[in-house]
Amino acid sequence: MDNGVIQKPGFDWYRIENETWSSLNENELKEVSIAGKQIGILKQKEKLHAFAANCPHAGVPLCSGWLDAQGRIVCPKHKFRFDPANGRNTSGEGYKLYTYASVVRGNELWVYMSGGTF
């Protein structure tokens, strides 16, 4: 499965276990485990977003935060905001949230990521 993603050594597609497209609620932040790593996922405007589970600034779980009126992830600790589509810090502090390529196949959720550590 390439889905238009440039293939990288050490990376592969992983199916998210115990979650399906139909089980996700729109605009609900959810933390899941894939290949031994915690990542956040979000169903937003009929698109699946996958991102690092913890804030790149403070390390707190982003899925304990919320979405603002523009659909950006808000960190619960310092209220930094991140665009779930590209990880851009939209509140101006200069941090970047790591994001992953993700797709929905049928009702299954897939994320493109490294099998190693980060």
Residue range 40-54, pLDDT digits in tens: 999 999 999 999 999
Mean confidence (pLDDT) of the chain: 91
Provide CB contacts within 8 A for 115, sequence distance 6+: 10, 11, 12, 14, 35
The pLDDT assigned to 11 comes to: 78
**Spacing of C-alpha 80 from chain mean position:** 16
- The verdict on residue 52 lying in a domain is yes
107 lies in some domain: yes
Given a cut of 80, whether residue 28 has pLDDT beyond it is: yes
How much is the pLDDT for 109? 97
Does 94 map to a domain?
Answer: yes
- With respect to residue 77, please indicate whether it lies within any of the assigned structural domains: yes
The residues with which 70 forms a beta bridge, in sequence order, are none
Any domain includes 5: no
Tell me the residue range of the domain where 61 lies.
15-114
Whether 1 is covered by a domain: the verdict is no
How many domains would you assign to the chain? 1
pLDDT digits (tens, 9 = 90+) for 66-112: 999 999 999 999 999 999 999 999 999 999 999 999 999 999 999 99
Q: Does the residue 61 lie in any domain?
A: yes
What local confidence, expressed as pLDDT, does residue 3 receive? 53
The contacts of residue 3 (CB under 8 Å, 6+ apart) are 13, 101, 103, 112
Q: Which CATH number does the domain housing residue 78 bear?
A: 2.102.10.10
Task: Tell whether 7 is covered by a domain.
Answer: no
Residue 46: how many other CB atoms lie within 10 Å:
8
Flag whether the pTM goes above 0.85.
yes
